[in-house]
């Protein structure tokens, strides 16, 4: 049988009980356990916790001390808990508004992206926070929400760098469009990557990974245009692509 003695609480313990060096046992045997330590399975006084006074047979005991200082408060039931982040990535220049959903947000004072505080934090309710990601070097960081009592992990956020283009195949296609072009590079973002052929925006872009995408060319006049890739972080350097009257290029079905 075990019990937790809270501040100014009273309890009755009808079984013979002895407190030895902060350890309360139910079998009448002495045991040495440091005050404030929860007994483990191998301790001589199993199922025992320290109390603030000595109990004897069938005596009523009043314990002392503040509940806030109780070393046996193992978990805080009101500690913030996070269940959802609206965005898992954003540009390294910052500015992404991230909505955080969970519980017990009333006392949240800050949101950290890595070690950097959010540009702004709005605690809309005890269940919802909006934080604006600060500028940060490209890469993955841990997100934490903080109160005066400490921090709680909220998830991870990926800072994206400016896209790069290292190779395109083929680098030419017919003026009618529809050529399937494979583009190698870096920092491509699924769902947020656009490909421009000159001033024309390609409508069919598939990001296969952060370093590989495929795109169908739009129709255009004969001549050379500059291909560029745009993401929320910025625009890549331009590379030339030639529209020709030839139909010898790979056509997308």
Annotated domain spans of the chain: 1-74, 81-160, 164-244
Superfamily of 164-244 according to CATH: Immunoglobulins (2.60.40.10)
Token pair recorded at residue 224: 């050379």
Predicted TM-score (pTM) of this structure = 0.49
Q: What is the pLDDT of residues 13-72, one digit of tens each?
A: 333 333 333 444 444 444 444 444 444 444 444 443 333 333 334 443 333 333 334 333
Q: What is the pLDDT of residues 86-120, one digit of tens each?
A: 999 888 888 999 999 999 999 999 999 999 999 99
CA distance 30 to 73: 25
Cβ neighbourhood burial of 207 (10 Å; 0-12, 13-18, 19+):
buried
Cβ neighbourhood burial of 66 (10 Å; 0-12, 13-18, 19+):
exposed
Token pair recorded at residue 34: 């440091």
CA distance 163 to 237: 8
Return the CATH architecture of domain 81-160.
Sandwich (2.60)
Amino acid 168: pLDDT: 97
Q: What is the pLDDT of residues 131-185, one digit of tens each?
A: 999 999 988 999 999 999 899 999 999 988 889 999 999 999 999 999 999 999 9
Comparing CA positions, the residue from 223, 212, 222, 226 lying closest to residue 167 is: 212
CA distance 144 to 150: 10
Amino acid 76: pLDDT: 64
User: Given this chain, do its domains 81-160 and 164-244 carry the same CATH topology?
Assistant: yes
Amino acid 245: pLDDT: 86
């Amino acid at each position: 049988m075990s019990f937790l003695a809270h501040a100014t609480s009273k309890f009755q313990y009808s079984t013979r009980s002895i407190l030895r060096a902060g350890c309360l046992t139910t079998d009448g045997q002495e045991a040495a356990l440091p005050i404030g330590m929860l007994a483990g399975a191998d301790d001589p006084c199993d199922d025992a916790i320290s109390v603030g006074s000595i109990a004897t047979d069938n005596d009523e005991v009043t314990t002392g001390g503040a509940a806030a200082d109780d070393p046996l408060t193992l978990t805080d039931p009101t500690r913030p808990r996070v269940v959802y982040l609206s965005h898992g990535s954003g540009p390294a220049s910052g500015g992404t508004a991230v909505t955080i959903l969970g519980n017990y947000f009333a006392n949240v004072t800050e949101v950290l992206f890595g070690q950097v505080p959010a540009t702004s934090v709005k605690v809309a309710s005890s269940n919802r926070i909006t934080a604006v990601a600060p500028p940060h070097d490209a890469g993955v960081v841990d997100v934490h929400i903080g109160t005066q009592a400490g921090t709680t992990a909220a998830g991870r956020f990926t800072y994206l760098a400016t896209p790069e283009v290292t190779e395109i195949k083929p680098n030419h296609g017919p003026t009618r469009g529809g050529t399937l072009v494979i583009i190698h590079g870096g920092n491509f973002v699924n769902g947020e990557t656009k490909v421009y052929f000159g001033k024309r925006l390609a409508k069919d872009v598939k990001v296969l990974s952060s370093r590989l995408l495929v795109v169908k060319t739009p129709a255009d006049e004969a001549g050379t245009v500059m291909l560029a890739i745009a993401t929320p972080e910025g625009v890549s350097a331009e590379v030339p692509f030639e529209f020709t009257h030839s139909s010898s290029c790979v056509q997308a079905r």
